[in-house]
Structure 1
Amino acid sequence: MITLKQVEAVFWVARLGSFDAAADHLNTTQSAISKRIQDLEGRYGQALFDRSGRKALLTPLGEQIARLAEPLLEQRDVLLQTLESPATLQRKLRLGVTELTALTWLPDLVQGIRAQYPRVEILPEVDVSPVLYARLESNSIDLIIVPDIFTDSRFANQPLHAVENAWMCAPGQVGGASAMPLQQLAERTLALQSGQSGMGRAYGQWFRQHGVDVSRAIFCNNLLAQIGLAVSGLATSYLPRHSLQRMIDQGQLTVLDVTPVLPPLPYKAIFRAHEDDPFIGAMVAIARQVCDFRKLIMH
């Protein structure tokens, strides 16, 4: 008789591209994955993978089995979560966040998840938004929290809070006046995030819309480095205003009055649209409850 473990092995090898990756995802060994698939092939006398090359490729039958397996495994997960309570549910959450979330409200998110789902294992990944989005596309991550720059019908999303950024520099670098037009600001040495980050993409488009050339800026996708460049007087940068309020109050940073002001940058939780998964829904609900970009965990 065919088993769900055998079907699961075929599906994850197909989805992740290798036996090793499937074994890691399913918390087992490569030999166990191979045996499940070999037993399935042996029972029905048909190959699911073409092993003639260096890489195991799906046969046409294997591709069909992998497609049919997806809704079956989703229904299995929903059934198990319906039967189990949050206190007893054992599951992995592959969670992707950007640096700003990691430095502000990620501890609250982890605490909220563990309070309701104490046996869930959280597997975090911190990276720039496009990398996290690619991981979601490859199904190697379950849920990402990123700036609202992606539109794709394959994925569902829930809005979180927005980040209010402001132009900041060291007090000694303010110059004659803290108020200035954006074109005048662009004459300064700026430390900006590049187009490889979600924030960099969003504000890069905004600069272009206002006809501002920032090609000579210092591009840095590390928030702490941006803060360091601003505090040291080496650059002016856009930084999360409320997160850094203490540094502003202590005189380490000064907020410039630049016109037009930077638009707030909304964040979203993004996950696969077809996934009727109450667990992911619960994770998103916790994220919406605790999302707060106003504090920096190092204060």
Structure 2
Amino acid sequence: MITFKQIEALYWISELGNFAAAAEKLHTTQSAISKRINELEAAFGMSVFDRTRRTARLTEKGSELLLMAKDLIEMRDEMLERMANPKVLHKRFRIGVTELTALTWLPKLVKMIEENYPRLILEPQVELSSVLFDKMSDDLLDFIIVPDIHEDARFKVQPLGSVENAWMCTPGYTDIQGPMALQDIAQFNVLMQGSRSGTGLIYDRWFSQNKVQTSQALISSNLIAQLGLTLSGFGITYLPLKAMSSLIEQGQLRTLDINPKLPQVRYAAIYRADRDSQLYKDVADYAKQACDFNRFLLSGY
């Protein structure tokens, strides 16, 4: 008898390229994965993988079987999610967010998911947006929340809110009070996010369009490090305006009047188009409801 364990082994070997990666994905051993494939081959009386090659390469019949296996897995998952009461739906859900989301409204989103899908096993990850997108492309994440810079037909995109950033520094870093041109930031140490960050990439492009040179730039991939360096008086930086309101009110930060203003950064929830099930639609809807970049969890930093 053919089992879903055998079909899943076939699917994940083909997706990830080898038996070891499939075993890790399915939380089992490589020998168990090999046993499942051997059983599958014995049931059909044919070879699924070409064993004369060093990599896991499907035979012609194996490729044909894989297409049907994908359909079966998708139908099974859709049936489970449509027929099961959300209260009893039990599965892992891997969600990736950037640091800003983790430090603002992720707790609200997690609470909403847990209230509506109490048996869902959430596995959150906090990474740079480029890392999150790569992981979802490799099917190592199910759902991500990142700056809206990706255009890929393989994925569904749910627009969320926007972040208004402003130039900031400590009150004692510079005595300039009036408006400045954007090109004038060249006189300062500028603390910036790297191009692997969605916000960093957006602003890198914007600086280039505005012909801005930042010869004294310090690159950070970590929002807390960026904030810490700014509070230590190392330079000026761009930070989410409303999230930093308490630090501005406390006199630890001041905003700089630099024109033109920084463009807002739009965020989006993204997931694979071939998984457009009710669960994914619901989580995207919860994200839209929860999205609020105004409250910084470390406001007493």
Greater shift in the superposed pair: 12-21 or 234-243: 12-21
What is the CA–CA distance in structure 1 between the aligned matches of 2:39 and 2:18, rounded to whole Å? 18
- Equivalent position of 2:287 in the other structure: 287
How far apart in 1 are the matches of 2:227 and 2:33?
A: 47
Is this contact kept in 1: 2:9–2:33, CA < 8 A? Answer: yes
Residue 243 of structure 1 aligns with which residue? 243
Q: Following the alignment from structure 1 to structure 2, what is the Cα–Cα distance between the partners of residues 29 and 109?
A: 34
Contact 2:92 2:123 in 1 (8 A): yes
- Aligned twin of 1:51: 51
Match of 2:92 in 1: 92
The code of the aligned residue for 1:240 comes to P
- Report the Cα offset of residue 32 of structure 1: 2.9
Post-superposition offset of 1:54 = 4.5
- Tell whether 2:182 aligns with 1:182: yes
Secondary structure at the counterpart of residue 212 of structure 1: coil
SS state at 1:124 partner? strand
| One-letter amino acid of the structure 1 residue matched with residue 84 of structure 2 | E
Matches within 5 A, 1:162-241: 162-241=162-241
For the residue of structure 1 that corresponds to 2:194, the secondary structure is coil
Contact 1:16–1:140, Cα closer than 8 Å, also in 2: no
For 1:256, the equivalent position in structure 2 comes to: 256
- Write the deviation string for residues 29-65 of structure 1: whole angstroms up to 9, x where unpaired: 4333222211010111211123345543322332332
Is residue 2:63 matched to residue 1:63? yes
User: Secondary structure of 1:159's match?
Assistant: strand
Q: Counterpart amino acid of 1:92?
A: R
Secondary structure in structure 2 of the residue aligned to 1:171: coil
Q: What is the match of residue 30 of structure 1?
A: 30
Q: For 1:207-243, what per-residue CA distance to the aligned partner results, in whole angstroms no more than 9, with x for missing partners?
A: 1111112254101111001101111111100001111
1:74 CA drift (Å) = 1.3
1:18 — aligned with what? 18
State the partner residue of 2:150: 150
1:96–1:143 Cα contact (<8 Å) kept? yes
Paired residues of 2:164 and 2:241 also in contact (CA < 8 A): yes
Deviation at 1:70, TM superposition (A): 2.0
Paired residues, what number? 299
The change in CA–CA distance for 1:287 and 1:262 in structure 2 (over 3 A counts) is same
Secondary structure of 2:80's partner? helix
Query: Mean Cα displacement is larger for which, 53-62 or 81-90?
Result: 53-62
TM-score by length of 1: 0.95
Kept after mapping to 2: 8 A contact 1:74/1:276: no
TM-score computed with the length of structure 2 as normaliser: 0.94
Aligned equivalents of 1:296, 1:176: Cα separation in 2: 27
Alpha carbons 2:50, 2:57 under 8 Å: kept: yes
Residue of structure 2 equivalent to 1:297: 297
- Distance in 2, matches of 1:220 and 1:257, equals 23
- 2:186/2:216 contact within 8 Å kept: no
Distance 1:202 1:18 in 2: 36
CA distance, structure 1, for counterparts of residue 171 and residue 90 of structure 2: 51
> Which region of structure 1 is more displaced relative to structure 2, 173-182 or 163-172?
173-182
- What corresponds to 2:277 in structure 1? 277
Q: Is the 8 A contact 1:174 1:256 kept in 2?
A: no
Amino acid at match of 2:161: H
Structure 1, gaps ≥5 residues long: none
- In 1: Cα distance, 2:10 partner to 2:92 partner: 19
Partner of 1:141: 141
Equivalent residues of 2:14, 2:56 under 8 A apart: no
The code of the aligned residue for 2:80 comes to L
Per the TM alignment, residue 69 of structure 1 is displaced from its structure 2 partner at its CA by 2.1
SS at match of 2:172: helix
Give the letter for the 1:280 counterpart: Y
For 2:119, the equivalent position in structure 1 comes to 119
Question: What corresponds to 1:6 in structure 2?
Answer: 6
Helix, strand or coil at the partner of 2:274: coil
Give CA-to-partner distance per residue, 1:141-180, whole Å, 9 cap, x none: 1111100111111111000101111000000013232421
- Answer whether contact 2:133 2:144 (CA < 8 A) is retained: yes
Match of 1:77 in 2: 77
- Name which of structure 1's ranges 237-246 and 55-64 shifts more when overlaid on structure 2: 55-64
- 1:96-132 CA distances to partner (integer Å, 9 max, x unpaired)? 1111111111111111111111111111221111111
Identity within the alignment, %: 46
Contact preservation (8 Å) 2:188, 2:216: no
Asked if structure 2 preserves the Cα contact closer than 8 Å seen for 1:95 and 1:141, the reply is yes
